[in-house]
C-alpha cells in the first residue's frame, strides 16, 4: 500500500483521563483502506526532543466521515505535545505503516485481548472482524473503571469482558486471570498491550495450541525499515517491527 505524508486536520481531542486522550483526524483526500494493526508516524512539533516521529496505532476508522482516531497515552514529551492539539490544528503523519492482523478461518472462535492503551488497535480490528461475519469475545483490562475506553463501541463489536486491577469494574485482576480466557475454547487470539501481558497470553496459547497474533510496540525511529532500531529476533531471523510487523504470529517469535 502506498505511503502518504500529509497534514491532517484535527477535528476533535477527547480527554478520557489526565493522561489518556483520543485524537480524531480528518483526511484531506479520501482515506486509504487502512488494515487493522497498521500504525502512523506522527510528528510531534514542539522541541528538539521530539525530532523523531512517534508511532501510534490506528484506533478506529469512519470512512463515511473520512475520519480516523488515535488513542494516545501521554508517555513523554512527544505524546504530551500531541495531547495539546485542538480542533482546527494540523498534525503531520506518515501513514499507513506496517502489516496487519490476518483474518481467522471461517467458524474460528475468536478472542481479542487488550491491556490499557495498548488495546488501541483492537477496536478497529473488532469492527473489521464484525463486518466479515465474526462475533469476537473481547477481553479488556484497565487499571480502574475511570480508564475504560470506548466501551459502547466495543459492545457493538462483540461480547465484552472486563478486568480492572482495583476491581472497580469487571473481574478484579489482570486480563491474564480472567475466566473468559480459561473457561472457553478459542481457535484464534489477537493480543495487544504490555509485553509481559502478551507473553503470558502467548504462553497460554502455545500450551493450548491456539493460533495467536500479537502487536509489538518496540521503540521505533524511522518507521519505514531504514534505521533498524526496531529489530526483533524471530525464528525467521532479524525482522523490523515497523515493516515486517508490528503484528507477529507467536510461532515466529522466540518468546
Ligand atoms: C507500532 C506502535 C504502535 C503504538 N501505538 C500506540 C498507540 O496507539 N497509543 C499510544 O499511546 N502509544 C502507542 N505506541 C507507543 C508510543 O509510540 C510511545 O509511547 C511514544 O512514542 C512515546 O513518545 P514520547 O515522546 O511521549 O515519550 P518518550 O519521551 O519518547 O518516552 C517516554 C517513555 O515511554 C517509553 N516509550 C517510548 N516509546 C515506546 C514504545 N514504543 N513502547 C513502549 N514504551 C515506549 C520510553 O522508553 C520512555 O520510558 C505505539 C508504539 C508502536 C511501536
Ligand atoms: S523504525 Fe527504523 S527500521 Fe523500524
Q: Which atom of ligand 2 is nearest to the CA of 226?
A: 3
Q: What is the sign of the dihedral through the CA atoms of 53, 54, 56 and 61?
A: negative
72: CA distance to ligand 1 center in Å? 9
152: CA distance to ligand 1 center in Å? 26
Distances (CA, A) of 253 to 172, 227, 228, 241: 30, 21, 17, 12
Ligand 1 in contact with 136 (CB < 6 A)?
no
Q: What is the pLDDT along the chain (255 residues), one digit of tens a residue?
A: 789 999 999 999 999 998 999 999 998 889 999 999 999 999 988 767 778 999 999 999 999 999 999 999 999 999 999 999 999 999 999 999 999 999 999 999 999 999 888 889 999 999 999 999 999 999 999 999 988 888 999 999 999 999 999 999 999 999 988 889 888 899 999 999 999 999 999 999 999 999 999 999 999 999 999 999 999 999 999 999 999 999 999 999 998
Ligand 1 in contact with 194 (CB < 6 A)?
no
Is the pTM for the entire model greater than 0.85? Answer: yes
Residues 190 and 215: their CA atoms lie apart, in Å, by 8
Amino acid at each position: 500500500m502506498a505511503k502518504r505524508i500529509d497534514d491532517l486536520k484535527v477535528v476533535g481531542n477527547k480527554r478520557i483521563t489526565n493522561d489518556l486522550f483520543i485524537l480524531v483526524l480528518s483526511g484531506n483526500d479520501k482515506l486509504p483502506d487502512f488494515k487493522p494493526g497498521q500504525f502512523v508516524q506522527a510528528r510531534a512539533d514542539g522541541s528538539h526532543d521530539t525530532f523523531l516521529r512517534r508511532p501510534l496505532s490506528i484506533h478506529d476508522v469512519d470512512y463515511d466521515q473520512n475520519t480516523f482516531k488515535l488513542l494516545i497515552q501521554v508517555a513523554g514529551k512527544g505524546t504530551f505535545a500531541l495531547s495539546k492539539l485542538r480542533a482546527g490544528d494540523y498534525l503531520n503523519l506518515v501513514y499507513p505503516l506496517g502489516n496487519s492482523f490476518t483474518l481467522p478461518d471461517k467458524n474460528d472462535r475468536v478472542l481479542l485481548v487488550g491491556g490499557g492503551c495498548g488495546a488501541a488497535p483492537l477496536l478497529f480490528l473488532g469492527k473489521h472482524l464484525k463486518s466479515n461475519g465474526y462475533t469476537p469475545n473481547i477481553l479488556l483490562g484497565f487499571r480502574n473503571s475511570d480508564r475504560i475506553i470506548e466501551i459502547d463501541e466495543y459492545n457493538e463489536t462483540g461480547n465484552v469482558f472486563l478486568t480492572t486491577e482495583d476491581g472497580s469494574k469487571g473481574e478484579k485482576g489482570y486480563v491474564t486471570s480472567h475466566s473468559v480466557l480459561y473457561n472457553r475454547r478459542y481457535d484464534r487470539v489477537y493480543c495487544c498491550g504490555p509485553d509481559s501481558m502478551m507473553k503470558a497470553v502467548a504462553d497460554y496459547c502455545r500450551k493450548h495450541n491456539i493460533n495467536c497474533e500479537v502487536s509489538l510496540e518496540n521503540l521505533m525511529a524511522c518507521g519505514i525499515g531504514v534505521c533498524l532500531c526496531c529489530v526483533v529476533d524471530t525464528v525467521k531471523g532479524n525482522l523490523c517491527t515497523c515493516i515486517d510487523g508490528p503484528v507477529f504470529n507467536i510461532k515466529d517469535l522466540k518468546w
